[in-house]
Structure 1
């Protein structure tokens, strides 16, 4: 304290003040007593004294009280407002607002600075309501606020979440002539950006030409916080063009925007500015640079920047650990966590949650248990965020019982986030009943589920009645306005098959983000309403919402379902303009769209331009080659994928097997089967179904049965493939046995299954069984028979020689018969020699399809078999008259 005594004494300071300072020095440090009195004191300068005292770090509550006591003895506070304000400021810095308020109340002549110190002190101590009350008192006392007053009270309004108070303050500031003051406008921009809308904040910023870096920082920061990152980059460019020098705050905000957009090149340019301005040593700027490289998946450069930092804090360490977690490099994340502990850096709950996320892989189970023990030892276990991360970690590595144990130990905290994570853990493990039960327990214990709990439980509900009940509860507690809850609601209705209710909920949502638009578009596509999906995408564009990767992928999926190349190209154009045309997610959807639309050359071109190729893009192109008849190209691409050591999923393998089935090559199919077995995919249901179909088309029905037996859990497609295979090979009895076994296993048949069943009955002459199965379609399963089902019955009756019954069956059908049905009857008439009915059937075919040469030829052959050559000549003349020509037969042998 003695170092503060040797100052110049001003003439307007009372001699008693000098004595008080001197005596204070003696009190503080008695060994300096003699030197203090033996030396002539320089003049006392209060400005330097208070400034140096504040900077010294000795501004504690105890020292401030000592000074206060000495000033009271000399009565200097009664006449010197500056010293009173300084003491008040020290009390505020010492987090003692009670003493600051007492001093303020005893100040005989407070000024605007006094009020500003008091209001600012309340803000520093998070007493924002007191800030507002003191501002009101200041106004009632007749003081005119200045720009610092307005800035502080606007900050308090922002913290209180009160835009109305903020607008009142701003109106008063404008009225009193602070319209162009940067400090006031920055406070209002920040308030609007956080509480109202970014558009309002931008309007305040653009009202007057800004000559203040603080305003630029406020609007750029507001843009980043509102995820208007492209706007933030544009504002930064404008700021630089107007020759405003960015500071550390500017750089931190703009680097955060670059990281969110993964704009690495722009970010490197900003880093150049950082180096030029000498802001590279700022720990916040350095951390933002690390975050940029981490978000752009360049962890090598992120590590280099991290090691270059002269000073690192907990945020820097957490950022580099999170970067490795995002890149799925759990080993490196855990390594840096160990290094962080070695250097003694303070660890917070964000660091721990990041490391726990790194341990969410089954191979990290040992490290997960060790980390759990360390968390328990250090006391972080009591932090609800850490406990939630523990629950999530154990659920991700498949140990839900341990998740539930952690939850039970922390259940008494009544933390809603923890309940939401536990519900999500049950949902991910497939324990729908336990998740719903936990949600009900929340209600019974008086806990009000938040948006996370509600969204989690809605994501797993597959019961329409239960979903409606939860919908009613959400409306009751007012959660419907939340975007995540609304999206979960209409997704639930879509998943339960109620697309109309799903779209109604979507329309009623007050706000919609890209996730909600993408989910609704996907819902339309999955329920065979691709046209409505494309129309919804157009509505989204009309509302000037910029589509992201998920939305564009959903729109491309709809275009694939429509096989609309023109619409797909339009969406491709939007993807290119949004700079996501080469991203993995959108790129795969583009390859799939072009493949489904038959533009296989364009599909390959997009595939070759993708910097990273995932399973979906590879599978889509293989499937596209197969479906468009490029069998050799499909096999060659599959070979390239294998040689590149890329992971091959069951969908890719199924596509290749489908191509081999079209090729009808048993040798290649057997080799592929061996490859699939080696990869361990032969038990996959999709692969097994494709193998069944492949062997069936190659004529090896015994191999079909062997492959089918190896499928772990046959689904409807695999059951149907086996039934159809037996039916096509004339093994009707075996097909019906498989059908009975399928029903016993609880799998419901669809219309394709019944085509196989009726075809099996037809090949074995099982007329009564055929009628029985046809009637069961509508009665038992609610499936209306179509042309193929009726065709199987007509074929069954025709093969059995019951031609008249077949005619009656056709005439009594609930749908209008087509040429195919009459053609089947005509073929049966030729086999059984029924001339009259054959004539009638041929007449119906010719009426429905006048250019169908087969009907003329079949009727001509029937007449020829009977020796009716005049009728033969008439039929031939009729063919010539109508211009129908029979194409000549040919053989490749």
Structure 2
């Protein structure tokens, strides 16, 4: 049988041979030690006394044990109290329970609670609070229910503690019952209880009830306002969060630093620069600019809204820059893709933590600067031994970017040895690394080792790996397995449909399309683009056009997919008709669109129309023609036999024609008998590619003399 520390102490007390001593002198000695900050010596003097001391002294000592979290001295106090006082007052035993709770010794607290000959409401409150403070919310709620069955009337402290527990475990129904009881016992107007109800309803995501409760508070405190601003932010309603912040200002309440922070985060989430600048003005007005929480939030807000200079200005105004502010401005530059400035700031930082290292490494990976990222990883290894799951994910991304599977395997070994294998983010990054490096067997083995830890991201990573390496059949087969374990995400369908198009698996593609329709998945722009591309590759342009025309809105990417799909099927005339509709809808073509238009002109042998569209690129849309556009025009003139136009076009290009272009020109000259131009093309070709010379041997028999 386990023996508690309190029982041992009681037995020791009963066996000690004490010398009688004057209680007044004992009390003076204890107070002298306390005045000098010597709690342990004070309790030792009390512990040696063979008689109980004044109850007020016990209460004072229990409070000191609570504040200092000194469990040993708290146990000594309780043992002395219950050993030498025949009927210890309930309020003192309640103080002992509170001390045990604050010292995180719930077994001692519950043992004392259960052994108390009588308990009052304070006893229950102390035990409930102890459970709540130490993360045992379910036990606190069970004890509250038992308290009500015993007929004990809860007080305000009980209600607030229990509501806090409901918020942690998201017990919306239970919190409604507690709310009703609080009204029954006359606490409905209490601002602390009202704020707690706003908090718990907000945490449970029921903002309608949270807002109604907030509106019923007659005089909301700063804490009340902070709660409602934060809860709107957490449910993703940044707009309402900011509106409540400004309502708070209009009502004359002074925001807390965290209220500012929450409102600024809400502005960041919406890229609401104007509102953020207005909040900045309030910050300056009430002199909160030097607050570390507020200043960091201001920096992050300006960064997220694309105003790095303003973020740097806030940083420069700080009198003393701490690690948080340094990390905020450095990561701001890294997030914005300005890695050179970010690295300069990183090098200037007087101290760094793991968040700083991760932010800089993330900046390199975001821009695919793999060599710089690798060099930075080596620096990290030489400088610090700290590493977390975020660092490992970033390192695995670098391995994938460099296609360095050997380094990835070393990281895998580190993950295994240091217990990171169960972290889903690390596991998925490892799976992604093996897939991108083309080691599909290792990817599949690791996927099976993940077992029950897999999620939708895991399936998507493996499916994408198969599809990326032309293993469309395996990807489609894996999709069938996936349905037994996880609901597919919308992103997986894009990968699968693309795989079907690449292997011309029309039936599988139609089945996946039908599955999405039956399961009520939204056919967003990406999925519609994948379906259009798949049907076009499988020569089902009618289906592709139906999907295209059913879209509520069409961006230029979807238009381009449809244009190229029709060109792939030799339907150039329909492309030229669609371009008119595109202009009517106000969608501005890009260089890809014009490439498709020129391919359509080639299909239809429309040399004049092609020339007009080519000129329109730079004249009307300010798009500089690229190599592929020049190649299309050469192909178009060659096919149509427009040799004069071809010669004029080639010789007026802003760059020298490539070997491939000259070869196509030469072939056209051979076909259409353009001797002089053909000889010129052969001469230019042979100068660029002497190892494979061309020779024009046909005689010109045309009236043009070319």
Q: Return 5+ residue gaps in structure 2 as ranges.
A: 1-18, 43-67, 73-97, 114-125, 148-153, 701-706
Of the three residues 610, 632, 649, the one matched with 1:792 is: 632
Distance in 2, matches of 1:865 and 1:349, equals: 101
The 3-state SS of whatever aligns with 2:572 is coil
Q: Which residue of 533, 536, 539 maps to 2:379? A: 539
SS in 2 for 1:572: helix
- Tell me which residue corresponds to 2:441: 601
Retained in 2: the 8 A contact 1:658–1:690? yes
1:423 and 2:264 are equivalent in the alignment: yes
Return the alpha-carbon distance in structure 2 between the equivalents of residues 444 and 825 of structure 1: 72
Match of 1:768 among 608, 611, 614: 611
Q: Offset of 1:352 from its aligned partner?
A: 6.3
Aligned to 1:691: 531
| Cα displacement (A) at 1:739 | 6.3
In structure 2, distance between residues paired with 1:602 and 1:768: 52
**1-side partners of 2:537 and 2:305: how far apart?**
41
Aligned with 1:120: secondary structure? Answer: coil
**Aligned residue for 2:278?**
437
Say whether the 8 Å CA contact 1:683–1:710 is kept in structure 2: no
2:474 is the alignment partner of 1:633: yes
Show CA shifts across 1:296-328 (max 9, x none).
Answer: xxxxxx847985999999798578546525xxx
Worse overlay, 804-813 or 682-691: 804-813
Residue 366 of structure 1, CA deviation = 4.4
CA apart distance, 1:840 = 7.4
**Cα shift readout 1:196-254 (whole Å, capped 9, x = no counterpart):** xxxxxxxxxxxxxxxx999xxxxxxxxxxxxxxxxxxxxxxxxxxxxxxxxx999999x
TM-score by length of 2: 0.68
CA distance in 2, matches of 1:748, 1:462: 31
Describe how 1:203-352 pairs up with structure 2 within 5 A.
Answer: 281=111, 303=138, 321=166, 323-325=168-170, 331=172, 334=175
Q: CA RMSD in A?
A: 5.1
Q: Distance in 2 between matches of 1:727 and 1:535?
A: 46
**Alpha-carbon shift at residue 671 of structure 1 (Å):** 2.9
Residue deviations 1:156-199, cap 9 Å, x none? xxxxxxxxxxxxxxxxxxxxxxxxxxxxxxxxxxx9xxxxxxxx
Distance in 2, matches of 1:524 and 1:650, equals 28
Task: State the alpha-carbon separation in 1 of the partners of residues 248 and 648 from structure 2.
Answer: 73
In structure 2, what is the equivalent of residue 889 of structure 1?
Answer: none
State the partner residue of 2:202.
Answer: 359
Aligned residue for 2:634, secondary structure, equals helix
Per-residue Cα deviation, 1:776-805 (whole angstroms, up to 9, x for no partner): 79x946x7x654444334334433435576
Residue of structure 2 equivalent to 1:700: 540
How far is 1:569 from its partner?
2.6
Equivalent in the alignment of 1:407: 245
Distance change in 2, residues 1:841/1:714 (3 Å): same
- Structure 2 distance, partners of 1:461, 1:605, is 45
For 2:493 and 2:499, the matched residues in 1 are separated by 10
Give the Å deviation of 1:509.
2.9
Q: Would the alpha carbon gap of residues 800 and 526 (structure 1) be closer, same or farther in structure 2, given more than 3 Å must change?
A: farther
Query: Normalising by structure 1, what TM-score?
Result: 0.55
Is the 8 Å Cα contact of residues 825 and 841 (structure 1) preserved in structure 2?
yes
Equivalent in 548, 572, 576 of residue 416 of structure 2: 576
Q: Structure 1, residues 547-590: CA drift from partner, whole Å, max 9, x if none?
A: 21222222222333333323333333333333223321111222
Q: Give the SS at the match of 1:582.
A: coil
Q: Which residue of 2 aligns with 1:118?
A: 35
Q: Do 1:420 and 1:453's aligned partners in 2 also have CA atoms closer than 8 Å? A: yes
Residue equivalent to 2:394 = 554
Corresponding position: 1:382 with 2:221:
yes
Q: Does 1:48 align with 2:9?
A: no
Q: Which of the residues 563, 566, 571 maps onto 2:406?
A: 566
Q: What is aligned with 1:372? A: 214
C-alpha contact 2:299 2:329 (8 A) present in aligned 1 = yes
Name the CA shift for 1:560/1:805 in 2 (closer, same or farther; >3 Å). Answer: farther
Confirm or deny: 8 A CA contact 1:822 1:845 kept in the other structure.
yes
Alpha-carbon deviation of 1:118? 3.3
Contact persistence 1:321–1:336 (CA under 8 A): no
Compared CA separation, residues 656 and 336, structure 1 to 2 (3 A): farther
Deviation at 1:829, TM superposition (A): 4.6
Distance 1:720 1:494, change over 3 A: farther
> CA contact under 8 A between 2:226 and 2:259: conserved in structure 1?
yes
| Alignment length (residue pairs) | 596
- Quote how far apart the aligned CAs of 1:471 are: 0.8
Deviations 1:605-638 (A, max 9, x none): 2222223222322212111121222222212222
Residues 451 and 479, structure 1, Cα contact 8 Å, conserved in 2? no
CA distance in 2, matches of 1:342, 1:741: 63
CA distance in 2, matches of 1:424, 1:651: 28
Q: Deviations over 1:506-538 (max 9, x none)?
A: 333333333333332222222231222232223
> Are the structure 2 counterparts of residues 320 and 416 from structure 1 closer, same or farther at C-alpha, using a change threshold of 3 Å?
closer
| Equivalent residue runs for 1:644-663 within 5 Å | 644=485, 646-663=486-503
1:489 and 2:335 equivalent? Answer: no
CA shift, 1:402, in A, is 4.7
| Counterparts in 2 of 1:773 and 1:452: CA distance versus 1, 3 Å | farther
Shift of 1:475: 0.9
Distance 1:576 1:733, change over 3 A: same
1:693-842 to structure 2, matched below 5 A, reads: 693-712=533-552, 714-715=554-555, 717-728=557-568, 729-731=571-573, 732-734=575-577, 736-737=579-580, 740=583, 744-745=586-587, 749=590, 752=592, 755-760=595-600, 762-763=602-603, 764-765=606-607, 766-772=609-615, 775=618, 780=622, 787-802=627-642, 819-825=659-665, 828-829=668-669, 832=672
Q: 2:414 & 2:435 partners in 1: Cα distance?
A: 19
Counterpart Cα distance in 2 of 1:553 and 1:429: 27
> Which of structures 1 and 2 has the larger relative contact order (alpha carbons within 8 angstroms, sep 6+)?
2
Structure 2 CA distance for partners of 1:117 and 1:526, relative to 1, 3 Å: closer
CA shift in 2, pair 1:680/1:399, >3 Å: same
Alpha-carbon distance in 1 for matches of 2:444, 2:665: 46
1:655 Cα deviation (Å)?
0.8
CA contact (8 A) 1:416 1:449 kept: no
Match of 1:391 in 2: 229
Larger radius of gyration: 1
Greater shift after overlay, 563-572 or 756-765?
Answer: 756-765
Does residue 623 of structure 1 match 2:468?
Answer: no
Partner of 1:229: none
Q: Distance in 2 between matches of 1:748 and 1:493?
A: 33
Superposed CA deviations along residues 3-60 of structure 1, whole A, max 9, x for unmatched, are: xxxxxxxxxxxxxxxxxxxxxxxxxxxxxxxxxxxxxxxxx97643566xx7xxxxxx
Could you report, residue by residue, the CA deviation over 1:463-494 in whole angstroms, capped at 9, with x for unpaired residues?
A: 998320331232122465333x4444344434
Equivalent residue of 1:546, what SS? coil
Matched residue SS, 1:580 = coil
* Conservation of the 8 A alpha-carbon contact between 2:302 and 2:311: no
Matched, 1:476 2:314: no
Cα 1:463–1:117 change in 2 (3 A) is closer
Further displaced range: 830-839 or 756-765:
830-839
Cα distance in structure 2, aligned partners of 1:631 and 1:471: 49
Secondary structure of 1:413's aligned partner: coil
Stretches of structure 1 that go unaligned for 5 or more consecutive residues are: 1-43, 55-81, 90-113, 125-145, 149-190, 192-211, 215-247, 256-270, 295-301, 867-893
Q: Residues of 1 paired with 2:598 and 2:286: CA distance?
A: 56
